[in-house]
Amino acid sequence: MEIPYTVTTRRDTGLNNGKIGIWLFLASEVMLFGALFASYILIRTGAQTWPRGDTVLNVPLATVNTIVLISSSVTMVMAWASLMRHRFETFRIYMGITILCGLAFLVIKFFEYSHHFEEGLYPRSDNFHAIYFTLTGLHGLHVIFGMAVNAWLWGPGSKLWKTNPVWFTNRVENSGLFWHFVDLVWIFLFPTLYLL
């Protein structure tokens, strides 16, 4: 049975089902990260002492990661815009850069984590590192998931462009919404953990 309203929009909402689905999912994601931010506030306000992020974390590396992730958001939206202009090859270039930026983000995060582990700092070490590893770890998993979806759309999933370009463009837009959300979470994580 064919999935309804993947290309056409529903008359009652003016949206296709994929877009409603991804926004409902993102709403649940807001609550997931919201719960962790609330935990962070609770733990920090209740602690007698709390280290400033820039005294224990690597701010230059995190700044580079912020720039990398923001750049990937731009290339993601440019990939979608390329499909809207029916330029498939340009789409693949932008989507490829987006995936590489995601990879660069993870490599930098790997170096950061390695440095902490070398210093004997783990989630169990103290409250700061517990919340730091939990928030950045969950965010990192989202980056991996987003990269996997984007890689599928860049590779095997792109066959759909030949048979149903509108559906494929909608899929890229929805994947982009998730990717921008991942960027948005980092925009708040960066100052909260590293700079305050």
Partner 1 sequence: MTSDHAVEAVADHHAADIDRHVRIYITVFVALMVLTIVTVAVSRFHLPVPIAVSVALLVAIIKGSLVACYFMHLISEKRLIYAVLTLTVIFFAVLLALPVLSYHDGFWMR
Considering only 85, 124, 156, 162, the residue that binds partner 1 (CB under 8 A) is 85
C-beta of residue 18 within 8 angstroms of C-beta of residue 182:
no
Nearest approach in angstroms of CB 162 to partner 1 is: 20
Helix (H, G, I), strand (E, B) or coil at 14: coil
Q: Is 76 in the site for partner 1 (CB under 8 A)?
A: yes
Please, which contacts does 25-31 make with residues 24 or more away whose CB atoms are closer than 8 Å?
A: 25/178, 26/177, 26/178, 26/181, 29/142, 29/181
Considering only 27, 89, 124, 156, the residue that binds partner 1 (CB under 8 A) is 27
Residue 189 per-residue DSSP state: H
Q: Is 4 in the site for partner 1 (CB under 8 A)?
A: no
Number of shown-chain residues binding partner 1 (CB under 8 A): 47
Which of residues 45 and 156 has its CB atom nearest to partner 1 in the complex? 45
Nearest approach in angstroms of CB 32 to partner 1 is: 10
Nearest approach in angstroms of CB 165 to partner 1 is: 14
C-beta of residue 18 within 8 angstroms of C-beta of residue 170:
yes
Residue written as token pair 């960027």: 183
Q: Pull the structure tokens for residue 57.
A: 């974390």
Residue 37: half-sphere exposure toward Cβ, Cα within 13 Å: 14
Q: At a CB cut-off of 8 Å and minimum separation 6, what does 25 contact? A: 178
| Residue ranges that bind partner 1, judged by CB under 8 A | 13-15, 19-20, 23-24, 27, 30-31, 34-35, 37-39, 41-42, 45-46, 54, 59, 63, 66-67, 70-71, 73-74, 76-78, 81, 84-85, 176-177, 180-181, 183-184, 187-188, 190-192, 195-196
